[in-house]
Structure 1
């Protein structure tokens, strides 16, 4: 049955779309191309819809019915921490309205399974290592707060409308399954470092007094192909899920402690968080 991928032309979304195609699934790709690129989709048809718009619910529900969509993977959101502190209303409207409209369209079209790409930033500056799904959520910026509210919207919608939903929380994604799918956004650390290397310039490091072996932060990175695989695995599990909404942490599976057991603050790049507070879903 077809799977609708919202944000399919983005860095992570395109990897998920191609992973679905590779295993024989039919993909319905949705993106407004505000940050994504249609070139990442190759021959896969693109349905250009702004899921935050007033027309989104009708357009999405019609598309779901037309294509007989069986499940949704929702990735479309704004994600720059610094921008979220400068433009909090932009983040609350985009990241929450998008979830509201996708859930409303699913309820109208009778689609039951949905996986939300969330963020481990919902945990804030937790002192726990490793982080588990039961850790307290206390996001410290509008980006993290907007994503947490999106999770609440999805959970409440699942309970009310008979959906089966999951929210995936992870920190930093890196790598590429193919050169055409590479991350080109300079708000992410690895593209920023590569760009600096190509220009022959230095990368500025913010902070050298963190309680880590070299004084700088340690981050948890997960390869984008593994993140895509996690979305697919959770989507498959939803078909037999009993609970309306469940949270999964996605991470590299390693815990690196600093000499004093301290933490790096979550914040705008290139500030960092201690490596791996999160575990891959089982």
Structure 2
């Protein structure tokens, strides 16, 4: 267990950041955070990743032992395409420059990329050797971030993670599983979705946060690592599972405007490398995650 170690977490006030903070604190880290939202959290600074001088000031003041870079623009239907590149790619460059300049003794920098870089790969189970085939600007911005980060491998102790889909209490209903859960919690009779025959690999945010914490402790520097469950489920199956939890069936209506032309239709990952690095890693079954979400209070 780490003691008196400082962790800097970007996107601390976001969905994933709160769970990562809990993991790090439990492991003995003193957690500092940055993000674009205002917050009353201790050791937190409101900073935009595009503000290079502000990033330098924060990193210099913090002097982190480890950095977990979770901040970024997520892939949602109406996202600003320019923001994908400005934040996910250039923002990460600004952060790495600040770390290299201001925190020369940092021991590990974990970058959260995305399994979306694999795109619509023909391969069944995707491991880290699968060639990227990004199908949208979000994925391209993340792959560009990865390629850019490799230029810093000789100067910074970097780990790149590729999380597949994950969910949990507190995730916005802009994402599919919280949207489905929310409709059942409100006892809605119908729900509008896009393509329900999409098969995705879903993990629990608590397991993802645990994996991140273990990785910054083990420090497999220079590795690219999938974070995934190794099981895929269709959205139709998710709707049926939540219906059993809620005790009723909901009518699904397909809204053509929700069907993305560049949608990834199947995404199933291999977690073999992750488990070989961190050893024991418990990930809740999807049903347990859905139960947890359904029985949590509505926001």
Once residues 168 and 268 of structure 1 are traced to their aligned partners in structure 2, the CA distance between those partners, rounded to angstroms, is 25
Deviations 1:69-113 (A, max 9, x none): 1010001100124335xx322211111122111101111121241
Shift of 1:18: 1.0
1:102 to 79, 83, 95: 95
* Correspondence for 1:253: 230
1:76/1:98 contact within 8 Å kept = no
1:129 to 124, 130, 138: 124
The 5-angstrom pairing of residues 33-44 of structure 1 reads: 33=37, 38=39, 44=42
1:202 to 178, 184, 190: 190
* Correspondence for 1:264: none
Q: SS of the residue aligned with 1:55?
A: helix
TM-score for both structures, normalised by structure 1: 0.78
The 5-angstrom pairing of residues 226-237 of structure 1 reads: 226-237=207-218
Shift of 1:31: 1.3
* Correspondence for 1:276: 268
How has the CA–CA distance of structure 1 residues 268 and 13 changed in structure 2, closer, same or farther, with 3 Å as cutoff? farther
Which protein is richer in strand relative to its size?
2
How has the CA–CA distance of structure 1 residues 218 and 255 changed in structure 2, closer, same or farther, with 3 Å as cutoff? closer
Shift of 1:60: 2.9
* Correspondence for 1:47: 45
Q: SS of the residue aligned with 2:203?
A: strand
Once residues 267 and 145 of structure 2 are traced to their aligned partners in structure 1, the CA distance between those partners, rounded to angstroms, is 25
Shift of 1:206: 2.2
2:162 is equivalent to residue 169 of structure 1 = yes
User: Unpaired runs of 5+ in structure 1?
Assistant: 177-181, 209-215, 258-266
Aligned residues: 242
Alpha-carbon RMSD across the aligned residues, in angstroms, is: 2.4
User: Unpaired runs of 5+ in structure 2?
Assistant: 235-258, 277-299
2:68/2:110 contact within 8 Å kept = yes
How has the CA–CA distance of structure 1 residues 122 and 252 changed in structure 2, closer, same or farther, with 3 Å as cutoff? same
